[in-house]
Structure 1
Amino acid sequence: MEAITNGLILLMLSIGHAELWIMVINRTHAQPIHEAWLKRFRHVAELLIVLFPIVLFLSVGLSTPGVLVGGDWSQLPFWWKPVLLVSALGFMGLLCSGFRHLFYKPPRQQTEHQSELIHMRQRLNQDLIGEGPYHYLAGLPFNEIFSVEFTRKTFVLDRLPAEWEGLTILHLSDLHFSGTLKREYFVELCRVAQETEPDLIIFAGDLLDEMKCLDWLDDTLGIFKAPLGQYFILGNHDWNQQSDQIRQSLIDRGWTDIAAQTLRLEHVGHAMQIAGTEVPWMGTHPEILRSEMSETVSDFLLLVSHTPDNFHWATREGYDLMLSGHTHGGQVRFPLIGPVFAPSRHGTRYASGTFARGSTLLHVSRGVSGIHPLRWFCRPEISLLTLRTTNTEDR
């Protein structure tokens, strides 16, 4: 019985050690470091994650002090103690993250949430796996990459003008064209999304992983039209490609670039400032057009940021609504624990969903795809957001 208990302790310490490296990976991937260097670092970290439990069980478990074969923890060599202490803290951090996931509750501003699944393979009746990078992952059992969740969420926002009641925003993010998922997959998703006839369309970055797919724009993002326009920023994967060419291609197809700038949009007697930020990879944060704002009635402020890491900055600036992607919801979610990998300075805190801080509401999309086409318990997502000034239940 004691050996079993000690074995469980060693297992928890191994998990804690892995969590520490994952925390480092998450935060490193939130920095403006090119993918080639990130990939090398990630491989080293993954190797250490695998090797540590082997060394731990052989050394502490079977050798000195040999807690799995009758040894006593008091005989643990001194140099192991800080290592195991830090590993124990890592395990506690994982538990805290799991509790946060289990007890997550959308803020009061989100009053409705409906969703429908779009089963792409059945819908198109064809094989949608191409020859792009990591294509073998798309065929793994229980992969949900071809089961897209179309979510419809309603947000009640205090500063939304009454005349804008029911304004709809289509929120798209992280398409990651690479050839791994065939062109037809994205064409159909974009067609379905356009059929909702939103008032405003936002793309929050990460369009391409392979420049050869740039011509896919014609029958994907190129088909979108909205009365108030289509606006975009780019993401870190676009930064790793030929970002200037990607940006111009979107502009040529009727999209408006809002990276590092603010545009003022007049609608039904009121103004909305739409701003975009690609920080930390490209450009700078936008400036609110305060000189254009009325002394009595402030403009409604909308920020598009590829990463949710800019949430606290947006709160300080006074934005009403912020739309992000980048984290893919973690792509893989474990039962009870939730997401583990999320490229963010905040780890998995803002992996996906709706969050409120101060007067700012943040919506983080799980995105449509990823360079690694793997989704377990974390379906791809496109969202239609409806903005209201009052709760429909109070009417």
Structure 2
Amino acid sequence: MNRRSFLKKLFGSTLALIGISGGTYYYARDIEPKALNIHTETIKSNIIPSTYDNFRIVQFSDTHIGFQYTLEQFTELITKINDLNPDLIVFTGDLVDAPDRYNWDNNLTELLDSLKAPYGKYWIYGNHDHGGYGTDIIKNVMDEAGFQLLQNTHQLIEKNNDRILLAGIDDVMLGRPNLNETLEQANPDLFTILLAHEPDFADIAKKYPIDIQLSGHSHGGQVRLPLIGHLYTPSYAEKYVQGKYTFDSSDLVLYVNSGIGTTRVPYRFLCKPEIHVYTLKNE
């Protein structure tokens, strides 16, 4: 960490200790974590077939159920996602916070199963999914709930004989991501969306024929301060933290979702939980 970064984080942490007290502490712990933001984006491209005009993809990520985020809150989220009438649903990792300590039952599976999207439900592993011996447990839950895992593989999404390509890699931190394997025999001329839990993977993805990368993991920083921004993000979410990013050397566009739940500390400040709604358009 260089001197500038150190001073920024020291100053930010001091303000946080002073500011997150009293009413601000209450807001950061009990109000903002429940204040869901529905973030809409229109994605335009001349390689999106016109049959996909107004095709809606809903992304949710990083629910971290079990750490200050309950099944009752998750039930409300499911209702809100279904009310958006998505054509396709993607989950970009970290379902529960600690798989080895979570009290697994059928309720979570039934809630996930109740999500409806005519063109499918897809997911990828996050680092918390692989952690805590959760790899097989979470896969079984998602399988039973009708979600298809994209683990270094891709899937063609077909509509009226036209196609777009949806790909997903294994988790960068605890998995074995392999983008060459993921895109093996994939048609590079198709509009391609990559699901990658860690947003900093975009520095690799931008070298491939990928149009959009959807990520989570960062929680948007979770606690952000005016003029300073986020105080902390995990590994592989240090360059790209929140929102939309473009690259000079590539046509790739990266969207980083701020996630639903919290982890490490049960606070959100100036960083509301969010889901993304992407509407495709032929340009």
Question: TM-score, with normalisation over the residues of structure 1?
Answer: 0.61
Q: Find out whether 1:267 has 2:141 as its counterpart.
A: no
Helix, strand or coil for the counterpart of 1:370?
coil
CA contact (8 A) 2:199 2:236 kept: no
Q: Distance in 2 between matches of 1:363 and 1:232?
A: 16
**Counterpart in the other structure of 1:214:** 104
More strand by share: 2
Q: Distance in 2 between matches of 1:177 and 1:378?
A: 18
- Give structure 1 regions of 4+ aligned residues with deviation exceeding 6 angstroms: 92-95
Helix, strand or coil for the counterpart of 1:248?
helix
Question: Alignment partner for residue 197 of structure 1, among 85, 101, 104?
Answer: 85
Pair 1:227–1:89, CA change in 2 (3 A): closer
Q: Distance in 2 between matches of 1:309 and 1:205?
A: 15
Q: Find out whether 1:339 has 2:233 as its counterpart.
A: no
**Counterpart in the other structure of 2:269:** 376
**Counterpart in the other structure of 2:240:** 350
Helix, strand or coil for the counterpart of 1:383?
strand
Q: Distance in 1 between matches of 2:109 and 2:186?
A: 36
Helix, strand or coil for the counterpart of 2:26?
coil
Helix, strand or coil for the counterpart of 1:316?
coil
Identical-residue share of aligned pairs (%): 31
Question: Which structure has the larger Rg over C-alpha atoms?
Answer: 1
Question: TM-score, with normalisation over the residues of structure 2?
Answer: 0.84
Q: State the 1:88 CA deviation.
A: 5.3
CA contact (8 A) 2:42 2:281 kept: yes
Helix, strand or coil for the counterpart of 2:168?
strand
Between 1 and 2, higher relative CO (CA 8 Å, sep ≥ 6) is seen in: 2
Q: Distance in 2 between matches of 1:346 and 1:194?
A: 29
Look up the equivalent residue of 1:376 and give its one-letter code.
F
Question: Alignment partner for residue 129 of structure 2, among 222, 238, 242?
Answer: 238
CA contact (8 A) 1:204 1:305 kept: yes
Helix, strand or coil for the counterpart of 1:245?
helix
**Counterpart in the other structure of 2:17:** none
Q: State the 1:180 CA deviation.
A: 2.4
Look up the equivalent residue of 1:153 and give its one-letter code.
E
Look up the equivalent residue of 2:153 and give its one-letter code.
Q
Q: Distance in 1 between matches of 2:212 and 2:35?
A: 28
Structure 1: give runs of 5+ residues left out of the alignment. 1-19, 21-85, 96-138, 391-395
Structure 2: give runs of 5+ residues left out of the alignment. 12-23
CA contact (8 A) 2:48 2:164 kept: no
Q: Distance in 1 between matches of 2:153 and 2:209?
A: 16
More helix by share: 1
Q: Distance in 2 between matches of 1:323 and 1:201?
A: 12
CA RMSD of aligned residues (A): 2.3
